[in-house]
Amino acid sequence: MAININSLVTNNQVKQTIEQQSQVKQIATQTSTNIEQAKQVRTDSVSITPQAKQLSELQKKASSGHITDQKNIEQLKKAIAAGEYKVDADKLVKNMLAFEFDLFAE
């Protein structure tokens, strides 16, 4: 009986083939895992710090404070027009000097 040795596969070749198949399976598994992760919807979240909330409240108060200032301006205009507004020169000078001092102190 004759044996064709050309068609025989060595143990090393079998081991290499098994290792290659194993590597292909690992790559396929990694690829499918990556695809599943890419399909998952990612959501962003935002959290507002207490300081940001406080700043927002202060901005609201400041914007509503404009109405009060406008009322004072109207009252002063009326008093000036009627000649009822009196300027205290000493108080004015003291406030101006205090303001200037504060500017240069910083």
**In the chain, where the domains are located:** 11-37
Which DSSP state fits 6? G
pTM reported for the whole predicted model:
0.30
Residues 7-50: tens digit of each pLDDT: 555 666 767 778 888 888 888 888 888 777 777 767 778 888 99
The residue type at 35: I
Percentage of the chain surpassing pLDDT 70?
A: 81
Contact by Cβ (8 Å): 65, 71: no
DSSP code per residue over 38-102: HHSPP-------HHHHHHHHHHHHHHHHHHHHHHHHHHHHHHHHHT-----HHHHHHHHHHHHHH
